[in-house]
Structure 1
Amino acid sequence: MSRLYSIAPAAIFLRRSSSTSPPSLRAPGVVLDAATERVRSGTFSPEDARDLFDELLLQATPVPGHALNGFLAALARTTCSDGLSLAVALFSRMSRGHGPPVASPTVHTYGILLGFCCRARQPDLALAFFSRFLRAGLNANCLIVNTLLKALCQAKRTDEAADVLLHRMPHLGCEPDAISYNTVIKGLCDGSRSNRALELLRMMAKQEAGCSPDVVSYTTVIHGFLKEGEKPNVITFNSLIDGYCLVGKMQKASRVHDDMVSVGIEPGAITYGTLIDGYFKAGMVDAALTLFQEMSAC
């Protein structure tokens, strides 16, 4: 077992010292707050981790949730390679009764852990924490489910991610938002499944999903097609133009129109109609009239 997670006997002094007097136990919240400051300052070492475990394991008082969350969040922001292992070991030992219990881990606690796992590219561990979260009977929110979707996509389980997105999120107590869809769309595109991603984008555009696509939605899909070596067709370009128009990015919409023409795809009535409507809504009447004249001349 790594030195980082070895737990010294209870009789060992908690702070390395030559003193022979019994250790002075501090409240668990104070212990974790002090450790959090050491993590933030970059001076938290494996030896400090061992001492932290030793001191907490001698406590009978529950560890306050806010103190644990602060410590886990600080670890998550570090680049320490042992950070995730330490966070998992600490949380698991305390929540399984090996030492003082954690006072009611919250959705925030699990959200920190899931996000930490994703950033460390450990999606299976994130999924294990989500399973534990469900068993705890806590109510999910979009933030934690979106992290679950990211973990599933990292694990190349995009079909499961799409199923959670389309069918399970309402049963978990939250509705998908643009981030939910964009996460799955990116996962599909990363897996060379841009056609499936385009289907999700169309669902968003029709507002069947209850939220509208944004620029990220469209650019992810278009880049997915390009990465797969496929030449985007008129539907793909129209979808991208529509997305930019929806968020008022008319310069980008116009640039997509120009790119469309440059690769030999003829804009149709839908293309022109979308752009003209977008220009009017953006108050760019002159641009709308110029494009209308261009369309009439075709």
Structure 2
Amino acid sequence: MHAPSLSPFCCFPPSSSLSQFQSQSESPSDSRHGLPLFCYANRSKIEPLRIPNRPKSPPSKTNVPCDTDYLNALVRKSDPSVFPFFNRITQTEGIFVDHYTYGIMIKYCVQMNQLNLAFSFLGRLLKEGQRVDPRTFSPILQALCSENRIDEAVSIVIDKMPKMECIPDMVSYTILMKGLCSKGNTGLVLQLFFKMVKHGGEYEPSVITYSTVIDEICKVGELTKAFGLYSHMYSAGVIPDSVTYTPH
């Protein structure tokens, strides 16, 4: 024997029972839209439901990430709608903004020559207790060096970033060394360079790093120091390439 199959509607009464219930609840003259009469009983006494006005609560942060692809596209075009878009997603939609998104906004501020505003976004990032990525500082370091505020850039890399548990990367050191070379402070450049060599690991200078520093030192006429770094390059087992011998 086969077990009887259950209908997906078996929880409802059979149609005959439903018809019997309707016939007991309504007369033919009072039937409206097939609904029983009690649905319309004392209709005149029913008062409209009053819902008290509640104050609007501010949007809460959601786990939905910001559309960074769209934001990056706006930044690349230097679109003036970058700030309105950022305000809309953070204030109106309450979308969570991570350190990467803040980095995009910092880059845009530097791009628009708004360094003070870039520092404001950095402060907001730190205030929220988010982790700081060394790439977040790169646009700020470049802007400081281009404005000849080398001492502030040195303070950020040597002092402030380590205190934030944000260890400077190769890009941070390279930006700083180029800025120092432009100011003629090749002594501090070599100190920073050999500090990277001492750290080793991810800070191990590549042929590109050696070539960049040698080129910058040569530009300020410090040929003896440049040749010394060239010799150190050989002793470290880093083979020079065409970039090393070509002035930029």
TM-score (norm 1): 0.53
Distance 2:200 2:239 in 1: 23
Map 1:136-175 onto structure 2 (within 5 A). 136-175=128-167
**Which position in structure 2 is the counterpart of 1:183?**
175
Distance 1:254 1:146 in 2: 24
For the structure 1 residues 86 and 66, does the alpha-carbon distance in structure 2 shift closer, same or farther, using more than 3 Å as the test? Answer: same
Contact 1:126 1:151 (8 Å CA) reproduced: no
* SS of structure 2 residue aligned to 1:206: helix
* SS of structure 1 residue aligned to 2:214: helix
The answer to whether residue 190 in structure 2 is matched with residue 198 in structure 1 is: yes
For the structure 1 residues 253 and 105, does the alpha-carbon distance in structure 2 shift closer, same or farther, using more than 3 Å as the test? Answer: closer
Give the CA deviation at 1:244.
5.7
Give the CA deviation at 1:144.
1.4
**Which position in structure 1 is the counterpart of 2:81?**
86
1:238 corresponds, among 216, 220, 228, to 228
Give the CA deviation at 1:121.
4.4
Give the CA deviation at 1:123.
3.0
Distance 1:104 1:250 in 2: 46
Distance 1:213 1:162 in 2: 19
Give the CA deviation at 1:110.
0.4
Contact 1:245 1:253 (8 Å CA) reproduced: no
Which 5+ residue runs of structure 1 have no aligned equivalent? 1-59, 257-298
The answer to whether residue 225 in structure 2 is matched with residue 226 in structure 1 is: no
**Which position in structure 1 is the counterpart of 2:101?**
109
Map 1:239-254 onto structure 2 (within 5 A). 239-243=229-233, 246=236, 248-250=238-240
For the structure 1 residues 146 and 221, does the alpha-carbon distance in structure 2 shift closer, same or farther, using more than 3 Å as the test? Answer: same
With 219-228 and 136-145 compared, the bigger mean Cα shift is at: 219-228
Which 5+ residue runs of structure 2 have no aligned equivalent? 1-58
TM-score (norm 2): 0.62
Aligned sequence identity (%): 27
* SS of structure 1 residue aligned to 2:223: coil
Map 1:43-54 onto structure 2 (within 5 A). none
**Which position in structure 2 is the counterpart of 1:77?**
76
For the structure 1 residues 139 and 251, does the alpha-carbon distance in structure 2 shift closer, same or farther, using more than 3 Å as the test? Answer: closer
Higher percent of residues as helix: 1
Contact 1:69 1:109 (8 Å CA) reproduced: yes
1:34-69, CA deviations, whole angstroms, 9 ceiling, x for partnerless residues?
xxxxxxxxxxxxxxxxxxxxxxxxxx7978753442
Contact 2:64 2:96 (8 Å CA) reproduced: yes
1:222-254, CA deviations, whole angstroms, 9 ceiling, x for partnerless residues?
3333333x2411x43121332366463245699
